[in-house]
Structure 1
């Protein structure tokens, strides 16, 4: 039987129901991104760029005789950005319904506000004069590229990086706590040379830290050079101005790096580089999720906190690793979007097409799913307790992993000319391959090798739990001070 229709379609209910999970179920975890990457945030950034361009043209006297703006008037213009609110959003929506052009709507909105701000006996003349400098010689992309650069910069530096860094710091702290807890390693899913749980978590923390450094070093580019990047309208309108210098100083005033050579669009290469770095961070984080999930399934971690949660609707005993599973899914969604952003944004047909315009509206969704994953991992890690007893039991059940150090000692002795140490690998393979051996069998084997007394004593004392090399010392590499 098909699902019956609602008497009132859900799409008609107020307040509007979110179509996507980020604006619905998971809104709390990603809400800070709304201030940076929503449609309203885009319009606010555009307004900021338009205001600063107007002030830049006036204060630098780029267009001779165009008039001045007092300090109070400049402050009032900038307050349009800091006081941007629901009324401004609504007015812009109304204007855009008439213009059917989002950037033109910003221009008209600013012209209206400029008329309100200018206060002098010759107000009308000043409005006519200064009003013509709003969006002067600009193409929409001059406003959009700088706006997106500022938005992405804010989202990364004020939201994503602090959250990601805090999660990696949390993982690093956990690694330090477990630095000396021995762990049976598994390579290809098989028992292998022991390590420590702390060292294995540190590997992942180290890898993600490198990506955080790359993201922190991102260069955010911007351009203001007209319809095809030639300053054509600029030079014809005001030939005496040094337009490259005007453009460079303006872009740098915004806190961006000037891109001197573009088509109509800023080439977006910096965005592709950034999204590749964030995606790589996500993939390492995904690796953490699958490893921790596996450790939980092996009993190396217990999920003992948050006892009020329901693990299964039918099996009361279960505490499912849902935080890590949720993170995996959201990381995969995030990376799918980041990958398509990175591959699409670097290409534009000839001097301009609009594929980037639609594509960039997905930046918030891409970072949002990644941010949600970070939140889930952080919550998941906070709910874990290590179970050293289980790890110790697995170590004690796999004495065959000591075949490696025994044959390595024999090789070193043979290299020094000690007799009777030939074919160590083959002898250990015959003893250990395809079967489990215990401490007693291994000690008996060692005592029958004819090793020098010191080496024999050292190997007899060795256990799987003590065979961790310098794993605890390696965590010093996490210290970034």
Structure 2
């Protein structure tokens, strides 16, 4: 007989995004305490604003609401929800039990989406700020690594085939620039995020217009005051019952963009680990395989790929939700949004923690990088040799054909027979290249173009402003939990 655990947390499914991957900061942000305290903050902002505009609400009532803003009775709310089957009204009644004098003015004139949607944009705003800070920190760490290896030549690849050399630092700038573009998009989403504020049941503000006796200006003031109290300087111009669900689709587009960038970078790291050129950090007691003790698996990079693939898969849900909001809204958005939005943020947060951790501890193997490049460098030198032979009077087309034939023979020698690349030696012994001096040793830096200078310019033009913008931000935890 199977023994069941007496601990409920061990006998029911736990979300691994919370249990294993995301930071405490992001997990707490989306937790029930934060959400329901935000609901109460909104009820207080509503009551304060209504009182300021002439509604009969006493200081005693407001004081009672404020006294229990953070003192939640979630067990009472859960029991009310079991009976009422309505989460907002359950919390209205639970709050009212604690604030009997204020009970009759809680939620006055409002609809459920006044609470849920305004709370969501507050949480989204705070989560975006956290993501922006993590992005900036990751960008800073990666740029530091790029600067350190700005002039370390390595083999470049196109089509995953050997191509013109680049440098380790320049390649890291490719990874980093994707994240820079993502940060700009996150900042744009923050700049354009608005409060829903007091829009009413179908967005017409009819209940508030009635509350203020037909005074349109007071309704406009109510909307502005509530938005300001919850930290927004603007509201959505028009809404149905909810803020435009298009906003959620744009939000997931931005988070998916980060996921795409991190997945690409983590995949490159995994490929480079296979070539023994660069590895992610590995802890002293870390185990790579239960069967193969020698394994050094790129666990962090693999986890990034797993988590970011999940975020990319979530991108379609808000798009479909936005496309199927009939008339002023339908409730088929609710359950989907409760899953998608928090989990996308949690997975992106976890992925950025991992990437910053990797970038801060990259292990580079210059000798292996040099060895891998040296095997291919003779091919790349042939273009320079051909041009020198042409300058000495050779026929360019004939020289090109001779190099092609030699390179095919060398490829057979290297790939099929495992012998060294003797391309330069072959050309030395070919009469068509007799006028060319082969005395100069091949220098890999001669083939990397402006890569080191591009690293310098990238850091000066793109990274320095980001470092300046986020210089006063407090540090975030970067612990890799599992």
- TM > 0.5 between the two? yes
Q: CA RMSD in A?
A: 3.0
Matches within 5 A, 1:6-45: 6-8=2-4, 10=5, 13-15=7-9, 17=11, 19-22=13-16, 25-26=19-20, 29-45=22-38
Equivalence for 1:317 = 294
Q: 1:438 to 1:408 in 2, by over 3 A?
A: closer
- The answer to which of 345-354 and 105-114 deviates more is 105-114
Equivalence for 2:480 = none
Matches within 5 A, 1:201-220: 201-218=172-189, 219-220=192-193
SS in 2 for 1:48: helix
* Deviation (angstroms), 1:311: 1.3
State how far apart, in whole Å, the 1-side matches of 2:328 and 2:226 are.
23
The yes-or-no answer on 1:250 pairing with 2:229 is no
* Deviation (angstroms), 1:221: 2.3
Equivalence for 1:50 = 43
- The answer to which of 419-428 and 143-152 deviates more is 419-428
Equivalence for 2:125 = 153
State the number of aligned residues.
442
SS in 1 for 2:68: helix
Matches within 5 A, 1:342-421: 342-345=319-322, 347-362=324-339, 363-398=341-376, 399-405=378-384, 420=394
Q: Deviations over 1:361-384 (max 9, x none)?
A: 112222212222223333334443
State how far apart, in whole Å, the 2-side matches of 1:446 and 1:148 are.
76
Q: Which has the bigger relative contact order, CA under 8 A and spacing at least 6?
A: 2
Equivalence for 1:235 = 209
Q: Deviations over 1:412-462 (max 9, x none)?
A: x7xxxx9656447556444435634434345667993868xxxx79x9554
* Deviation (angstroms), 1:7: 4.3
State how far apart, in whole Å, the 2-side matches of 1:91 and 1:279 are.
38
Matches within 5 A, 1:102-117: 102-115=87-100
State how far apart, in whole Å, the 2-side matches of 1:358 and 1:385 are.
44
* Deviation (angstroms), 1:408: 7.2
Equivalence for 2:459 = 478
The yes-or-no answer on 1:467 pairing with 2:432 is no
Answer yes or no: is the 8 Å Cα contact 1:57–1:133 preserved in 2: no
Equivalence for 2:433 = 448
State how far apart, in whole Å, the 1-side matches of 2:181 and 2:292 are.
41
Equivalence for 2:166 = 195
State how far apart, in whole Å, the 2-side matches of 1:446 and 1:350 are.
81
The yes-or-no answer on 1:90 pairing with 2:75 is yes
Equivalence for 2:65 = 77
SS in 1 for 2:49: helix
Matches within 5 A, 1:114-133: 114-115=99-100, 127=101, 131-133=103-105
SS in 1 for 2:165: strand
Answer yes or no: is the 8 Å Cα contact 1:275–1:341 preserved in 2: yes
Q: Aligned match of 2:252 in 257, 260, 275?
A: 275
* Deviation (angstroms), 1:261: 0.9
* Deviation (angstroms), 1:337: 2.1
Answer yes or no: is the 8 Å Cα contact 1:185–1:192 preserved in 2: yes
Flag structure 1 segments of 5+ consecutive residues without an equivalent.
116-126
Q: 1:143 to 1:185 in 2, by over 3 A?
A: same
Q: Deviations over 1:59-90 (max 9, x none)?
A: 232x3xx14427xx756634533x345xx222
State how far apart, in whole Å, the 2-side matches of 1:22 and 1:30 are.
12
Answer yes or no: is the 8 Å Cα contact 1:395–1:465 preserved in 2: no
Matches within 5 A, 1:278-357: 278-302=255-279, 305-345=282-322, 347-357=324-334
State how far apart, in whole Å, the 2-side matches of 1:182 and 1:22 are.
40
- The answer to which of 257-266 and 400-409 deviates more is 400-409
Answer yes or no: is the 8 Å Cα contact 2:150–2:168 preserved in 1: yes
SS in 2 for 1:478: helix
State how far apart, in whole Å, the 1-side matches of 2:365 and 2:442 are.
22
SS in 2 for 1:193: strand
* Deviation (angstroms), 1:140: 0.7
The yes-or-no answer on 1:222 pairing with 2:195 is yes
SS in 2 for 1:185: strand
Flag structure 2 segments of 5+ consecutive residues without an equivalent.
412-421, 465-482
Answer yes or no: is the 8 Å Cα contact 2:389–2:433 preserved in 1: no
State how far apart, in whole Å, the 2-side matches of 1:444 and 1:312 are.
50
* Deviation (angstroms), 1:319: 1.4
Answer yes or no: is the 8 Å Cα contact 1:191–1:401 preserved in 2: no
Answer yes or no: is the 8 Å Cα contact 1:196–1:468 preserved in 2: yes
Answer yes or no: is the 8 Å Cα contact 2:280–2:300 preserved in 1: no
State how far apart, in whole Å, the 1-side matches of 2:7 and 2:215 are.
58
